[in-house]
Amino acid sequence: MTKSADFSLSRPYPLARVERFDFETEVAIVGFGTAGSCAAIEAATAGAKVMLFEVTSGSGGAAALSGGELYVGGGGGSLQQRTAGFEDRTEDFYQYLLMAGGPNADEAKVRLYADNALEHLDWVIAQGVPFKNSYVAERVMEPLTDDCLVWTGSEEAWPFAQAARPAPRGHTVQQEGWGAGKLLMDTLAKRVKTLDVDVRFDARALALIADDNGHVQGLVVRIDGQPRFVRARNGVVLCAGGFIMNREMVKRHAPLLLRADNPIGTVDDGTGVRLGMSVGGAAINMSEGFATVPWYPPGSLVKGIFVNERGQRFINEDCYHGRVTQFILDQPGNHIWLLQDHETYAPGLLHENARIEIGAAADSWEEIERELKLPEGMLTATVAVYNRHAARGEDPLFHKAKKWLKPLDKPPFVALDCRIDHAQYTTFTLGGLDTLPTGEVLTESRDPIPGLYAAGRTACGLPRWGKGYSSGMSIADSTFFGRQAGRRAARARR
Ligand SMILES: Cc1cc2nc3c(=O)[nH]c(=O)nc-3n(C[C@H](O)[C@H](O)[C@H](O)COP(=O)(O)OP(=O)(O)OC[C@H]3O[C@@H](n4cnc5c(N)ncnc54)[C@H](O)[C@@H]3O)c2cc1C
C-alpha cells in the first residue's frame, strides 16, 4: 500500500518498487500549456503513443493568459515584416537573440531558432493559429486591435541596435483586444484533440520513476486522489511551467524578483524544475526573471526620463519596458520617478492598473525636487544635463536614440511615482533545467539523463536574462523547443 508521503518532487520513485503500472505509453508529457501541447502534437505526429497529464481541469497554462505574441524573425523576414518594409536577416536576428540571452546565452539554441523561426511560424499557422498581415508602428505592449507585427524588444535601442540591424519581431495572434494567448492555446488544444493523445486532466505529477542507473522510466501522477504509475517507454517530457508562484523557491534562487510584488502565471510552482533536479538535472540561471511595470504606452512617455532616489538617471529609456524595469529593480531604495513635461506627458494606458500615480506636479524642476524631498540640486542637475544634450540630439550618458530625445523644458512638469513597493511590478521566472536544443535534460556535467526531456519555463531556454527579454520570446521558445522535445522523445525508443 503506497501513501502520498512515498512520493517526492525531490526524490525519484525506484522502478523496483513499482508493483504494477496503471498506464503504459511511449511519451508522457507533464503540463498542457504551450510547451506541452506542442510536444504532444509533434510526438503524436511522429507516431508515438502519447499521454499528457495536466494538473488543472483544462488546457492553457500561463499562455492562455498571455498576450499571444511570438518573437519571430530572420530568413529575410516574415510575410508581415516584409510587407511592412523590414528585411530581417538571419544574422541580425541571431545576434539580437544572442545578446538578449545575456552572459550565459545558449548559442546552440539561439542558432537553431534563428535558422528555423520562419518555418516555426508557418508550423504554428498550420495548426490553425491566425496572424493578420499588418503592422503597428507605435510603441505598444500588445496591439489593442487584431493587428500582428509590433516592436516588442530593445531592437532599436543602445546597445542592441549597435550589434544587430533592428526589425520589429513580435507577431501577435489575430484577435481583437488584449489576451490573444487564449486563442493560441485553444487552437493548439483543439489540434491535440484531433491526434491520438490520451489527455488526463486533474492529474498532478508527483514524482519521476527511475531505475538503478538513474534512467527515467516513467512517473507517478495523482488522479482521483490516487497515485497512478505511468510507464513511459521513450521518456517523460516536463512542461510544467516555471516557479514564480513558489515563493520559497523564488526566495532561495531569485530574491531580487521578490521586489516585484505581482507574480504572473498559473500553477508555476516549480514542480517541473524540482522533478528534473530529483534525478540529477542541473538548474541554471535560476536568479533570472522577466519583470515589468507597464509605464508605456503612449510612446510619448518614452521621451521622459527615469530617476532614482538620488535624482539620477540609470538607463536609456527607449529600451523595452522589461529591460528598463530590471534596471529599476537594481536601484537602491524604493523611490523611482518618471519625469515628463507638458509636451511628453499623457496618462499611461495601464497606469491606473499598475498604480503609477502623479507624485509631484509644478512649474519648475526646482519645485518638483523640493516636493519629492530630493537632495538639493540633484534632480535639477540631472534634468539640466539631459536637456542640454537632448537639445543637440545627444545622450552621451545612456545613448538614448535621437528620435526619443527632447529637452524636458515645457511646464508644467510632472514626476510619475513608480515606487517599487507601491506600483504593480509583474514578474515570472526564466531559470530552469539545463537542456540540449533537443530538450534532453542535462546533469551538472552536461550529460543527458536518459528518458528525461524538458521545455518551456521548466527549462532554461532562449529567454534567460531579464535585461534582454523581449515580449514573445517565452512563447516562441516554449512552442519551438516543446516541438523539439516531443519529436526527440518520440524517436527515443528504448
Ligand atoms: C499575463 C501574461 C502575459 C504574457 N504574455 C506573453 C506574450 O505575449 N508572449 C510571450 O512570449 N510570453 C508571454 N507570457 C509568458 C508565457 O505565456 C509563458 O512564459 C509561457 O506560456 C510558458 O509556457 P510553458 O509551457 O512553460 O508553461 P504553461 O503554459 O504555464 O504550461 C504549464 C502547464 O503545466 C501544468 N502543471 C504545472 N504543474 C503540474 C503538475 N505537477 N502536474 C501536471 N501539470 C502541471 C500547468 O497547470 C500548466 O497548464 C505571458 C505571461 C502572462 C502570465
Q: What tens digit of pLDDT does each residue of 198-231 get?
A: 999 999 999 999 999 999 999 999 999 999 999 9
Give the Å distance between the CA of 38 and the centre of ligand 1.
13
Q: Given this model, what pLDDT does residue 3 score? A: 63
The residue contributing the CA closest to ligand 1 atom 5 is 66
**Ligand 1 pocket: which of 37, 41, 55 to mutate (most atoms <8 Å of CB)?**
55
Give the Å distance between the CA of 206 and the centre of ligand 1.
19
Which is the closest atom of ligand 1 to the Cα of 35? 25
Give the Å distance between the CA of 349 and the centre of ligand 1.
25
- pTM for this one? 0.97
SS (H, E, C) the chain: CCCHHHCECCECEEHHHCCCCCEEEEEEEECCCHHHHHHHHHHHHCCCCEEEECCCCCCCHHHHHCCCEEECCCCECCHHHHHCCCCECHHHHHHHHHHHCHHHCCHHHHHHHHHHHHHHHHHHHHCCCCCCCCECCCCCCCCCCCCCEECCCCCCCCCHHHHCCCCCCEEECCCCCCCCHHHHHHHHHHHHHHCCEEEECCEEEEEEEECCCCCEEEEEEEECCEEEEEEEEEEEEECCCCCCCCHHHHHHHCHHHHHCCEECCCCCCCHHHHHHHHCCECEECCCCEEEECCCCCCHHHHHCEEECCCCCCCCCCCCCHHHHHHHHHHCCCCCCEEEECCCCCCCCCCHHHHCCEEEEEECCHHHHHHHCCCCCCHHHHHHHHHHHHHCCCCCCCCCCCHHHCCCCCCCCEEEEECCCCCCCCEEEECCEECECCCCEEEECCCCEEEEEEECHHHECCCCCCCCCCCCCHHHHHHHHHHHHHHHHHHHCCC
Ligand 1 surroundings by CB, under 6 angstroms: 30-36, 53-56, 61-63, 65-69, 181, 204-205, 239-241, 264-267, 271, 428, 456-458, 471-475, 478
Give the Å distance between the CA of 288 and the centre of ligand 1.
16
Q: Given this model, what pLDDT does residue 6 score? A: 82
Give the Å distance between the CA of 188 and the centre of ligand 1.
13
- Given a contact cutoff of 8 angstroms between Cβ atoms, the answer to whether 478 and 38 are in contact is yes
Provide the CA 156 distance to its chain's centre, in angstroms: 20
Q: Given this model, what pLDDT does residue 36 score? A: 98
Q: Given this model, what pLDDT does residue 4 score? A: 62
Give the Å distance between the CA of 423 and the centre of ligand 1.
24
Give the Å distance between the CA of 399 and the centre of ligand 1.
35
Contacts of 80-85 spanning 24+ positions with Cβ under 8 A? 80/131, 80/132, 80/133, 80/134, 80/135, 80/148, 80/149, 80/171, 81/149, 81/167, 81/168, 81/169, 83/133, 83/135, 84/135, 84/149, 84/168
204 beta partners: 222
Nearest CA to 366 out of 354, 388, 384 is that of: 384
Q: Given this model, what pLDDT does residue 19 score? A: 96
237 beta partners: 29, 453
Which is the closest atom of ligand 1 to the Cα of 53? 43
**Ligand 1 pocket: which of 56, 72, 246, 267 to mutate (most atoms <8 Å of CB)?**
267
Question: In the chain, which stretches have pLDDT less than 50?
Answer: none
Which is the closest atom of ligand 1 to the Cα of 206? 41
Give the Å distance between the CA of 121 and the centre of ligand 1.
19
Which is the closest atom of ligand 1 to the Cα of 474? 11
Which is the closest atom of ligand 1 to the Cα of 457? 26
Give the Å distance between the CA of 485 and the centre of ligand 1.
17
Which is the closest atom of ligand 1 to the Cα of 456? 26
Q: Given this model, what pLDDT does residue 261 score? A: 84
Give the Å distance between the CA of 320 and the centre of ligand 1.
21
Which is the closest atom of ligand 1 to the Cα of 268? 37
Q: What letter represents residue 485's amino acid?
A: A
